Structure 1
Amino acid sequence: MPAAAATKPPIEESVSKITRHSHLLAAQLQTLRSQMYPPEAKKTLKTFTSREAAMMVGIAESTLRQMSLDGESAAPELHGKDNRRRAYTLAQINEIREHLAKKRPKEALDFLPRRRAGEKLQIVAVANFKGGSAKTTTTVHLAHFLALQGLRVLAIDLDPQASLSTMFGYQPEIDVEDNQTVYGAIRYDEGQRVPLASVIRKTYFEGIDLVPGNLELMEYEHETPQAIARGDGRGEGMFFRRLGSVIASVEDDYDVVLIDAPPQLGYLTLGALYAASALLVTVHPAMLDVSSMNQFLKMTSDILQVIEENGGHLHHDFIRYVLTRHDPNDVPQVNIVALLRSLFGEDVLAPVVVETTAIASAGLEKKSLYEMARGTVGRDTLNRALESVDSVNQEILNHLKQVWGRT
Structure 2
Amino acid sequence: ADVKKYVPHRRRGEKLQVVAVVNFKGGSGKTTTAAHLAQHLALTGHRVLAIDLDPQASLSALHGIQPELDKNPSIYEAIRYDDERKPITDVILPTNFPGLELIPASLELQEYEYDTPLAMQDKNSVAGKTFWNRIEKVLQEVDDRYDVVVIDCPPQLGYLTLTALSAASSVLITVHPQMLDLMSMSQFLLMLGDILKTIRQAGGEVDLDWFRYLITRYEPTDVPQAQMVGFMQSMLASQMLKTPMLKSTAISDAGLTKQTLYEVEKSGMNRATYDRAMESMEAVNAEIRELIHGAWGRAK
Q: Smaller-chain TM-score range?
A: over 0.9
Show the counterpart of 1:301.
Answer: 193
Would you say the 8 A contact 2:119–2:128 is kept in 1? no
Q: Which secondary structure does the structure 2 equivalent of 1:215 belong to?
A: coil
| RMSD over equivalenced CA pairs, Å | 1.3
Equivalent residue runs for 1:48-197 within 5 Å: 104-105=1-2, 107-109=3-5, 111-177=6-72, 180-189=73-82, 191-197=83-89
Show the counterpart of 1:354.
Answer: 246
Task: Please report how far the alpha carbon of residue 108 of structure 1 lies from its aligned counterpart in structure 2 after TM superposition.
Answer: 2.4
Q: How does the TM-score come out when normalised to structure 2?
A: 0.97
> 5+ unaligned residues in a row in structure 1: which ranges?
1-103
- The one-character-per-residue Cα deviations of 1:169-189 (angstroms, maximum 9, x if unpaired) are 011012134xx1111111010
- The one-character-per-residue Cα deviations of 1:174-231 (angstroms, maximum 9, x if unpaired) are 2134xx1111111010x20000011101111111101111100011101111111113
Letter in structure 2 aligned against 1:129: F
Q: Which secondary structure does the structure 2 equivalent of 1:369 belong to?
A: coil
User: Larger Cα Rg: Structure 1 or Structure 2?
Assistant: 1
- The one-character-per-residue Cα deviations of 1:82-118 (angstroms, maximum 9, x if unpaired) are xxxxxxxxxxxxxxxxxxxxxx32x522x22111121
The count of residues paired between Structure 1 and Structure 2 equals 299
Q: How does the TM-score come out when normalised to structure 1?
A: 0.72
Would you say the 8 A contact 1:362–1:369 is kept in 2? yes
- The one-character-per-residue Cα deviations of 1:20-74 (angstroms, maximum 9, x if unpaired) are xxxxxxxxxxxxxxxxxxxxxxxxxxxxxxxxxxxxxxxxxxxxxxxxxxxxxxx
List, as ranges, runs of 4+ consecutive aligned residues in structure 1 with deviation greater than 2 Å: 231-237
> Does the C-alpha gap of structure 1 residues 149 and 233 become closer, same or farther in structure 2, counting only changes over 3 Å?
farther
- The one-character-per-residue Cα deviations of 1:233-258 (angstroms, maximum 9, x if unpaired) are 43797110111000111010001000
Q: Which secondary structure does the structure 2 equivalent of 1:279 belong to?
A: strand
> 5+ unaligned residues in a row in structure 2: which ranges?
none
- The one-character-per-residue Cα deviations of 1:351-375 (angstroms, maximum 9, x if unpaired) are 0100111011110111111112222
Work out the CA distance in 1 between the residues paired with 2:103 and 2:199: 26
Equivalent of residue 139 in structure 2, options 247, 250, 255: 247
Would you say the 8 A contact 2:94–2:101 is kept in 1? yes
The percent of aligned pairs where both chains have the same amino acid is 51
Show the counterpart of 1:262.
Answer: 154
Work out the CA distance in 1 between the residues paired with 2:109 and 2:125: 18
> Does the C-alpha gap of structure 1 residues 344 and 231 become closer, same or farther in structure 2, counting only changes over 3 Å?
farther
Show the counterpart of 1:100.
Answer: none
Work out the CA distance in 2 between the residues paired with 1:232 and 1:240: 17
Would you say the 8 A contact 2:55–2:108 is kept in 1? yes
Would you say the 8 A contact 2:119–2:129 is kept in 1? no
Work out the CA distance in 1 between the residues paired with 2:124 and 2:9: 38
